[in-house]
């Protein structure tokens, strides 16, 4: 009798734990195209000039599902790379900008 109760307890514990893990895995995420568009909009608001290369998603942070995006701009004969962190609701936050190169 005791063995049956332990078995039911462990089975219910495993099921509830797996449901908890499965629920956290389906968090909202900004898709790549939207992340690149958000980074481009943010880049064009702080940089004058034009984009000379398509933006690129460099990495995806697994727990938070944020994405790191690089945008490439040309301004006054110098080329810049701007790095952005894009949140799950597609809002871009500035990380850094490289020095202008010829």
Q: Does residue 43 form part of some domain?
A: yes
Give the pLDDT of residue 34: 96
**Total number of domains constituting the chain:** 1
| DSSP string over the chain | -HHHHHHHHHHHHHHHHHHHHHHHHT-----HHHHHHHHHHHHHHH--SEEEEEEEEEEE-TTT--EEEEEEEEETTEEEEEEEEE-TTS-EEEEEEPPPB-
Give the pLDDT of residue 15: 74
For the residues 82-101, what does the mean pLDDT come to? Answer: 93
Q: Does residue 80 form part of some domain?
A: yes
Q: Does residue 70 form part of some domain?
A: yes
Instruction: Give pLDDT tens digits for 18-64.
Output: 666 655 555 578 999 999 999 999 999 998 888 899 999 999 988 88
Q: Does residue 9 form part of some domain?
A: no
């Amino acid at each position: 009798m005791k063995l049956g109760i332990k078995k039911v307890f462990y089975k219910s514990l495993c099921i509830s734990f797996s449901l908890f893990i499965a629920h956290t895995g389906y968090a909202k995420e900004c898709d790549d195209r939207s992340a690149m568009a958000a980074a481009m909009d943010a880049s064009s608001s702080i940089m004058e000039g034009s984009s000379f290369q398509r933006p690129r998603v460099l990495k995806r942070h697994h727990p938070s599902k944020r994405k790191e995006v690089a945008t490439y701009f040309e301004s006054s004969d110098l080329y810049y790379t701007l790095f952005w962190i894009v949140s799950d609701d597609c809002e871009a936050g500035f990380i850094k900008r490289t020095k202008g190169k010829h």
